[in-house]
Chains A and B, each alone.
Chain A
Amino acid sequence: MTGTREIAQFGGADDGGLGLREAATLLEQTGRQARRELEPYPPWLFVVRAAIVLAVGGAAWLSVRGQHPYQGPTVSAILVIAPLLVVNLVATLAVARRRTTGVSGRSRLRPVEITVMVVIWVGVYVVLGVLAGAGVSPAIVYGWYLVGVPLIVAGIAWAAIMAARANWRECGTAVAVAVVGAAAVFAGPVGAWAVAGVGLCITLLGSAAAIACRQRA
């Protein structure tokens, strides 16, 4: 069928001469572009975050692996880690905010969900401070707890929120984060950093791949 025949068959007063193949191409391209533009967390952001968590875990692991007894990441390691975490947070929020401009409704986080996550993160670090103040071993406070507990608790909470929204992709990612936290706890205070860095890197790369596949679908 030629374009002319298609136009003759399907043309309307204001269709601008849209043929079948043109329509199919326009539909596919527009849908793909819209999914890409409206995705709050694009694949490239996940790849950047994966590199950041790998660098954070690696820097911390390198600084603690020779410690006897274990004292936690050194000041020089923290000077590398802290800016990376800030860059990670700021980049994630900035990109998500830009891409969700104009979008409202069920997919946006509700105030109660944001509050739950903030309370959990603050609570985890308040307990960390209490444990450190109580003289608990640095291996527990700055090793197992610091690496594993935030990932487990925040991962489970986020998974619950996403399950309630029937967002199974995000739910799966959150469960994977909690599993990485649990694996880090079993790896001991030194190995926890390496396990968390590598585990989160793999999780984030998996998320990047899943989103990229979804955008191409």
Chain B
Amino acid sequence: MADDALDPLIHVPARLRIVATLAALDEDDTLSFTRLQDMIGLTPGNLIVHLRKLEDADYVSSEKTGNGAASRTTVALTSRGRAALDAYTGALRALLDGL
């Protein structure tokens, strides 16, 4: 059960913090890349790498607006990502209860 139960994509400190932070937003809200970076404390390069993995799984969506210095990237948890986090939380709770 254990290997299947915990989503390996989320069960990584940096990505767990990313999805937990984005889950604190109201549904349909987005967070700017820079604010997310401030909150998580990752370097931009590191954050991009983890966000890309989450985006590939459709857990996170990002949108870039504007050009050059005025460009702004926003990030949000998708409904699939929210469901994955709920499933992860439930599985983690079940595993801890079983210890």
Q: Which of A12, A24, A30, A38 has the most CB of B within 10 A?
A: A30
Tell me if A35 and B24 are in contact (CB < 8 A). yes
Tell me if A34 and B20 are in contact (CB < 8 A). yes
Bound CA span A92–B38, Å: 22
Interface size class of B (residues with CB under 8 A): 35 or more
Residues of chain A within 8 A of B32, CB atoms compared? 101-104
Residues of chain B within 8 A of A105, CB atoms compared? 25-26, 28-30, 76
Tell me if B27 and A18 are in contact (CB < 8 A). no
Bound CA span A35–B96, Å: 24
Option from A1, A23, A38, A108 in Cβ contact (under 8 Å) with B92: A23
Whether A16 is near chain B, meaning CB under 8 Å from some CB there, is yes
Tell me if B26 and A16 are in contact (CB < 8 A). no
Whether B47 is near chain A, meaning CB under 8 Å from some CB there, is no
A-B contact pairs, 19 of them (CB 8 A): A15-B12, A18-B11, A18-B12, A23-B6, A24-B96, A26-B13, A26-B17, A27-B20, A31-B23, A34-B39, A101-B32, A102-B38, A103-B29, A103-B32, A103-B35, A104-B29, A104-B30, A105-B28, A106-B29
**B residues lining the A interface (CB < 8 Å):** 2-3, 6, 8, 11-14, 16-17, 20-21, 23-32, 34-36, 38-39, 74, 76, 89, 92-93, 95-96, 99
Residues of chain B within 8 A of A38, CB atoms compared? 24-25
Q: Which of A1, A10, A21, A108 has the most CB of B within 10 A?
A: A10
Bound CA span A12–B92, Å: 16
Given A15-B13, A103-B25, A105-B28, 15 other A-B residues pairs in contact with their CB atoms under 8 A: A9-B2, A12-B8, A16-B12, A18-B12, A20-B99, A23-B16, A26-B16, A31-B21, A34-B20, A34-B23, A101-B35, A103-B29, A103-B30, A104-B30, A107-B29
